Structure 1
Amino acid sequence: MLEEIAISDLGVIRSARVPLSAGLTVITGETGAGKTMLLTGLGLLMGGRADPAGVRPGADRAVVEGRLDLRRHPHATERVDEAGGEVDDDGTVVVLRTVAAGRSRAHLGGRGVPQTVLAEIADELVTVHGQSDQLRLRTPSKQREALDRFAGAAHAATLAEHRAAWAERAGLQSEIDDLTSRAAERAREAELLRLGIAEIERLDPQPGEDADLTTLTTRLGNVEELRQGAQLAHDAVAGDDTEVEGSAVHAVERARRALEAVAGDDPALADQVRRLTEAGYVLGDVATELSSYVADLQADPAALETAHARLADLGSLTRSYGSTIDDVLAWASDAGLRLLDLDDGGERVEGLRARVAELDDLVADLAGRIGDARRDAAVRLAEAVTAELDGLAMRGARLEVEVSPGEPGPHGADQVAFLLQPHPGSPARPLGKGASGGELSRVMLAVEVALATAGEDADAVLPTFVFDEVDAGVGGRAAVEVGRRLAALARRTQVVVVTHLAQVAAFADTHLVVAKSTAADAGTTVTGVEKVTDEDRVRELARMLSGQDDSETARQHALELLESSAVGPWGR
Structure 2
Amino acid sequence: MLVELSIKHFAIIDELTIPFEKGLTVLTGETGAGKSIIIDAIGLLLGGRGSAEFVRHGEKRAEIEGLFSIENHHPVIRKAQELGIDVQDDMFVLRRDITAQGKSICRINGKLVTLGILREIGGGLVDIHGQHEHQALLQAEHHLGMLDSYAKSDLAQAKAEYKSIFERASALEKQVKHLSHNEQEMAQRIDLLTYQLKEINEAKLEPEEDRLLTEERFKLANSEKLFQSLNDSYGNLYGDGKGLDYLMNAMMHLEEAASVDKNLAPLHESISNCYYLIEESTFTIRDQVDGVEFDPNRLDFIESRLNDIQRLKRKYGENVEDILEYASKIEEELDTILHKDDRVLQLQQELDTAWHDLYVEGKAITDIRKKAAKHLTKAIHKQLKALYMEKTVMDIRIEPKPPTKSSPTIDGKQVAFGPEGMDQVEFYLSTNPGEPMKPLSKTASGGEISRIMLALKSIFQTHQQITSVIFDEVDTGVSGRVAQAIAERIHAIAMGSQVLCITHLPQVAAMADTHLYIAKHEKEDRVHTSVTPLELDEKVDEIARMISGVEVTDLTKQHARELLDLAEQLKEPH
**TM-score interval, normalised by the smaller of the two chains:** 0.5 to 0.7
Give the TM-score normalised by structure 1. 0.64
Give how far 1:415 is off: 1.9
Q: Using the alignment, how far apart are the partners of 2:204 and 2:534 within structure 1?
A: 86
Which residue in 2 is equivalent to 1:371? Answer: 366
Q: Using the alignment, how far apart are the partners of 2:546 and 2:62 within structure 1?
A: 30
SS state at 1:409 partner: coil
C-alpha offsets along residues 41-66 of structure 1, whole Å, 9 cap, x if unaligned? 2124424789999999x998997845
Q: Using the alignment, how far apart are the partners of 2:59 and 2:86 within structure 1?
A: 28
Which residue in 2 is equivalent to 1:475? Answer: 480
Alignment of 1:190-229 (within 5 A): 193=197, 197=201, 200=204
Which residue in 2 is equivalent to 1:38? Answer: 35
Which residue in 2 is equivalent to 1:243? Answer: none
Rate the CA distance shift 1:263–1:515 in 2: closer, same or farther, 3 A. Answer: closer
Counterpart of 2:419 in structure 1: which amino acid? P
Rate the CA distance shift 1:187–1:372 in 2: closer, same or farther, 3 A. Answer: farther
C-alpha offsets along residues 111-156 of structure 1, whole Å, 9 cap, x if unaligned? 9999999888766655444457764534444321111122352333
C-alpha offsets along residues 342-396 of structure 1, whole Å, 9 cap, x if unaligned? 4652466554433322211111222233233333433442343233223213343
**8 Å contact kept, 2:7–2:15:** yes
Alignment of 1:402-413 (within 5 A): 402-406=397-401, 408-413=417-422
C-alpha offsets along residues 56-82 of structure 1, whole Å, 9 cap, x if unaligned? 9x9989978451538657499869x89
Counterpart of 2:448 in structure 1: which amino acid? E
Say whether 1:390 aligns with 2:385: yes
Rate the CA distance shift 1:212–1:321 in 2: closer, same or farther, 3 A. Answer: closer
Rate the CA distance shift 1:316–1:413 in 2: closer, same or farther, 3 A. Answer: same
Rate the CA distance shift 1:390–1:309 in 2: closer, same or farther, 3 A. Answer: same
Segments of 5+ residues of structure 2 without an aligned counterpart are 312-317, 403-416
Q: From 531, 544, 559, give the equivalent of 2:565.
A: 559
Which residue in 2 is equivalent to 1:514? Answer: 517
Which residue in 2 is equivalent to 1:241? Answer: none
Q: Using the alignment, how far apart are the partners of 1:279 and 1:494 within structure 2?
A: 86
Alignment of 1:41-52 (within 5 A): 41-47=38-44
Which residue in 1 is equivalent to 2:406? Answer: none
Which moved further from structure 2: 64-73 or 542-551?
542-551
Rate the CA distance shift 1:473–1:52 in 2: closer, same or farther, 3 A. Answer: farther
**8 Å contact kept, 2:5–2:18:** yes
Say whether 1:362 aligns with 2:357: yes
Counterpart of 2:469 in structure 1: which amino acid? T
Say whether 1:147 aligns with 2:159: no
Rate the CA distance shift 1:174–1:504 in 2: closer, same or farther, 3 A. Answer: same
Which residue in 1 is equivalent to 2:449? Answer: 440
Rate the CA distance shift 1:507–1:118 in 2: closer, same or farther, 3 A. Answer: same
C-alpha offsets along residues 167-202 of structure 1, whole Å, 9 cap, x if unaligned? 12223333445566685535653565467657859x
**8 Å contact kept, 1:256–1:273:** no
Which residue in 1 is equivalent to 2:405? Answer: none
C-alpha offsets along residues 293-331 of structure 1, whole Å, 9 cap, x if unaligned? 99xx9xxxxxx9xx99999999986664589xxx99979
Q: Using the alignment, how far apart are the partners of 1:473 and 1:328 within structure 2?
A: 71
Q: Using the alignment, how far apart are the partners of 1:339 and 1:491 within structure 2?
A: 64
Counterpart of 2:147 in structure 1: which amino acid? L
Give how far 1:290 is off: 8.9
Counterpart of 1:389 in structure 2: which amino acid? L
Q: Using the alignment, how far apart are the partners of 2:541 and 2:215 within structure 1?
A: 102
**8 Å contact kept, 2:126–2:468:** yes
Say whether 1:341 aligns with 2:347: no
Which residue in 2 is equivalent to 1:301? Answer: none
Say whether 1:401 aligns with 2:396: yes
Counterpart of 1:170 in structure 2: which amino acid? S
C-alpha offsets along residues 86-127 of structure 1, whole Å, 9 cap, x if unaligned? 999864334467899xx8776544899999998887666554
Rate the CA distance shift 1:210–1:92 in 2: closer, same or farther, 3 A. Answer: closer
**8 Å contact kept, 1:23–1:495:** yes
Q: Using the alignment, how far apart are the partners of 1:25 and 1:290 within structure 2?
A: 92
Give identity over the alignment, percent: 22
Which structure is larger by alpha-carbon Rg, 1 or 2?
1
Rate the CA distance shift 1:196–1:264 in 2: closer, same or farther, 3 A. Answer: closer
Which residue in 1 is equivalent to 2:407? Answer: none
Rate the CA distance shift 1:66–1:430 in 2: closer, same or farther, 3 A. Answer: farther
Q: Using the alignment, how far apart are the partners of 2:432 and 2:190 within structure 1?
A: 66
Q: From 497, 500, 507, give the equivalent of 2:501.
A: 497
**8 Å contact kept, 2:65–2:95:** yes
Rate the CA distance shift 1:18–1:318 in 2: closer, same or farther, 3 A. Answer: closer
C-alpha offsets along residues 418-447 of structure 1, whole Å, 9 cap, x if unaligned? 244343455655445564443322110012
Counterpart of 2:486 in structure 1: which amino acid? V
Counterpart of 1:385 in structure 2: which amino acid? I
Q: Using the alignment, how far apart are the partners of 1:189 and 1:258 within structure 2?
A: 74
**8 Å contact kept, 1:441–1:468:** no
Give how far 1:411 is off: 0.5
SS state at 2:137 partner: coil
Which residue in 1 is equivalent to 2:410? Answer: none
Rate the CA distance shift 1:35–1:530 in 2: closer, same or farther, 3 A. Answer: farther
Q: Using the alignment, how far apart are the partners of 1:374 and 1:90 within structure 2?
A: 34
**8 Å contact kept, 1:2–1:20:** yes
Q: Using the alignment, how far apart are the partners of 2:186 and 2:10 within structure 1?
A: 64
Segments of 5+ residues of structure 1 without an aligned counterpart are 238-245, 298-303
SS state at 1:170 partner: helix
SS state at 1:402 partner: strand
Rate the CA distance shift 1:420–1:118 in 2: closer, same or farther, 3 A. Answer: farther
C-alpha offsets along residues 431-477 of structure 1, whole Å, 9 cap, x if unaligned? 45564443322110012223345xxx3x644762314142743334x
Give the TM-score normalised by structure 2. 0.63
Q: Using the alignment, how far apart are the partners of 1:207 and 1:42 within structure 2?
A: 61
Which residue in 1 is equivalent to 2:159? Answer: 159
Say whether 1:23 aligns with 2:23: yes
**8 Å contact kept, 1:484–1:507:** yes
Q: What is the alpha-carbon root mean square deviation over aligned residues? A: 6.6
Give how far 1:502 is off: 5.4
Counterpart of 2:26 in structure 1: which amino acid? V
Which residue in 1 is equivalent to 2:68? Answer: 69
Give how far 1:38 is off: 1.2
Q: From 530, 533, 540, give the equivalent of 2:533.
A: 530
SS state at 1:495 partner: strand
